[in-house]
Amino acid sequence: MTTEGVEFAGHELARASLDACVKCTICETACPVSAVTPLFSGPKFVGPQAERFRNGESVDHSLDYCSSCGACTLACPQGVQIAELNSQARAVMKADHMPLRDQLITRTTLMGMMMTPVAPIANAALRNLPIRTIVEKVIGIHRDAPMPPAQTQTLQGWLKKRKVPMKAPTRGPVVFFHGCAGGYFEVETSRKSIEVLEYLGYEVIVPKQGCCGLAQQSNGLFDQASAAVLKLCDELRGAGKDLTIISSSGSCTGMLKHEAHEIMGVSDDKLKDVGTRIRDMMEFLLDLHDAGELPTDFARIDMTVPYHAPCQLKSQGMGQPAVEVLKLIPGLTVVESGAACCGIAGTYGLKKEKYEVAQAVGKPLFDMVKRTNPDLALCDTETCRWQIEQSSGVKTEHPIWMVHRAYGLS
C-alpha cells in the first residue's frame, strides 16, 4: 500500500480543509482541465467530494487527469486545498504502480548534467522524429511535447569564467536559487537575473545547489522529493543565515514556499527557514519598488507584449508582480493572458495520454500570444515558456529580460 512518504501530517491537514467545502462550484468555473475534457470531472467532484469516500487507493482514476495547476485552490473562498488533496490522493493511487516514465522525467538535474556536455547531439535527438516516436512508444513522452534545448554552458560554468563585477556592492548580499532549469537549460535567464541584482547593488551568492524535487512531488514520488527539497534547503542555508533568497524559477520557489509543506507535509525547520526567506525575482523587485528602493530610470521600450502568469506562481498568493514591475517601463504595454494555465503543469503535458488535453488547455493562451505579439511573449517559469514557445511558435522569455534591457544591460 502506501509508502512512508505518503503517510504524512500534511495529508491530515488538507483532508480537514475539505469540511470547509460548501459546494459553491467556484472551483469548477476555474478549472482549465475540465473545461476541455470530460475525462476529468472537475475539482469539486474529484477533490473534496470524492475525498470523503477515499480510504486508501482512489477507485476513481479520473483523479490522474488533474494537472494540479492549483487554479481551484486559488479560487476557493473557503480555504479548501483542492489541488493539494488531489496531489496527495494521486500519490496514494500511484504508490504501488508508478510508471517508469514518471520516474524518469522527474530527474531534471540528471537530465541537465547528461545533456550539457553533448548539447548538439542531445538537441538533434530531441528534434529527431523517429527517435521521439520510439521514446513515445517505449517511455510515454509525447513526440511533440516541448523539451528544453540543451545549452553548451551551465550557469556554474558561466559564473566561473565570467569577469567578476567591477562595481562594489552597496546593498549587501543575497542568495540566488536558480533551480535545475536555471542551472542547465535557462542559463540566460539566471545570468540576466544575477546581472540585474548586481546592477541594483547586491552581492549575489550562488551556492552549489540541487533540485527542489517539484517534478517528483507532482508525480507522487514523495520520498524522493522530500529528500531533495531538504538537501536543497541545506545548500541554500549554507550560503548565509538570514539572507534573502531570490529565484527566477517561479514554480520551484512555490515548492519551497508552500508546496513541500502543504502537499507532502514536510515540516522541518530548515524548510520553514528557507520558505519564509525566498522571494520570486519579480516579487522581490516589486517589494523594492513598494519600499521606494527600486531605481526606475528605465530606458524606453516601445512594445506590446503578452504576459502569462503561470499557475504555480499565481497560487503563491502574491498577485502578478511582473505586471506591476513591467508597468514601470516607459513605452511597454503588457497584456495579461487571462489564462489559468498553459497546460504543461510541470510534466503533465509531456505525457502521451495527456498531451492533447494539455494542448487544448493552452490553446486560448497560444492564440492570445500569437495575436498580441508574434515575436515575443513573457512568462515566469521554464516549462511554461517551453510549452508556449513550442505550441505558439512565439519566442517566450522571463520578464527579467525586459528589466535587464530597460536598465541598459542588454
Partner 1 sequence: MSRVVVIGVGLAGLTAANRLAAGGVDVTLLSKGIGGLQLGQGTIDVLGYTPDRVTNPVLTLAAIASSRPEHPYAVIGAAGVHTGIEYLKGLLGAKLLVGDVETNYQLPTAVGAIRPTCLASPSMVAGHVRDGAKFAIVGLRRLKDFHPKLVAENLARSALPDGAQPTRSKRSLFGDPIAEAFAKQTPGHLEVRHLSVDVPARENEIDSSGLTYARAFDDPAFRARFAETLRPLLADGETVGLPAVLGLNDLTAWSDVAEKLGHPVFEIPLPPPSVPGMRLNAALTAKAKAAGVRMVPGSWTVGFRAGNGGILGLSVAAAGAQREFTADTFLLATGGFESGALNLDSHGLVTETVFGLPLAGLDAEPLIHGDYWGAEQPLFRVGVRVGRDMRVLDGAGAVVHDNLYAAGGIIGGSSRWAEKSGDGIALGSAVLAADSILKELS
- Looking at the Cβ atoms of 46 and 115, the one nearer to partner 1 is 46
- Looking at the Cβ atoms of 22 and 59, the one nearer to partner 1 is 22
Site for partner 1 in 6-25 (CB under 8 A): 24-25
Is 128 an interacting residue with respect to partner 1 (CB under 8 A)? no
Part of the chain binding partner 1 (CB under 8 A), chosen from 53-61, 106-114, 161-169, 318-326: 318-326
In angstroms and rounded to an integer, the radius of gyration of the C-alpha atoms of the chain is: 21
- Looking at the Cβ atoms of 269 and 375, the one nearer to partner 1 is 269
Smallest gap from residue 300 Cβ to partner 1 (A): 20
Candidates 126, 318, 376, 409; binder of partner 1 (CB under 8 A) is 318
| CA neighbours closer than 13 Å in the CB half-sphere of residue 83 | 24
Is 315 an interacting residue with respect to partner 1 (CB under 8 A)? yes
Smallest gap from residue 256 Cβ to partner 1 (A): 7
Size of the chain, expressed as the number of residues it contains: 410
DSSP 312-351: HHHTTSS--HHHHHHTTSTTEEEEE---S--S-TTTGGGB
Strand pairing report for 303-308 and 332-336: parallel
Element (H, E) at 195: helix 187-199
Part of the chain binding partner 1 (CB under 8 A), chosen from 85-93, 97-105, 269-277, 352-360: 269-277
Candidates 57, 144, 235, 336; binder of partner 1 (CB under 8 A) is 336
Smallest gap from residue 406 Cβ to partner 1 (A): 19
Distances (CA, A) of 164 to 19, 45, 88, 305: 55, 55, 45, 33
Smallest gap from residue 332 Cβ to partner 1 (A): 14
Is 346 an interacting residue with respect to partner 1 (CB under 8 A)? no
Q: How many residues bind partner 1 (CB under 8 A)?
A: 35
The owner of cell 522527474 is 106
Sign of the torsion formed by the C-alpha atoms of 175, 181, 187 and 188: negative
Neighbouring C-beta atoms of residue 371, cutoff 10 Å: 11
Is 56 an interacting residue with respect to partner 1 (CB under 8 A)? no
Give the Cα separation of 380 and 14 in Å (integer): 27
Smallest gap from residue 167 Cβ to partner 1 (A): 29
Is 257 an interacting residue with respect to partner 1 (CB under 8 A)? yes
User: Which among 6, 13, 85, 17 has a CA at the least distance from the CA of 46?
Assistant: 85
Binding mask 184-223 for partner 1 (x = CB under 8 A): ----------------------------------------
Is 254 an interacting residue with respect to partner 1 (CB under 8 A)? yes
Is 35 an interacting residue with respect to partner 1 (CB under 8 A)? yes
CA 394, distance to chain mean position in Å, is 20
| CA neighbours closer than 13 Å in the CB half-sphere of residue 383 | 28
Is 330 an interacting residue with respect to partner 1 (CB under 8 A)? no
Smallest gap from residue 42 Cβ to partner 1 (A): 7
Residue 62 per-residue DSSP state = G
Candidates 9, 16, 77, 127; binder of partner 1 (CB under 8 A) is 77
Distances (CA, A) of 31 to 25, 26, 43, 46, 65: 10, 9, 7, 12, 12
Part of the chain binding partner 1 (CB under 8 A), chosen from 9-17, 91-99, 146-154, 250-258: 250-258
- Would you tell me which residues interact with partner 1 (CB under 8 A)? 24-26, 28-30, 35, 38, 42, 74-79, 254, 256-258, 275-278, 290, 314-320, 324, 327, 336, 338
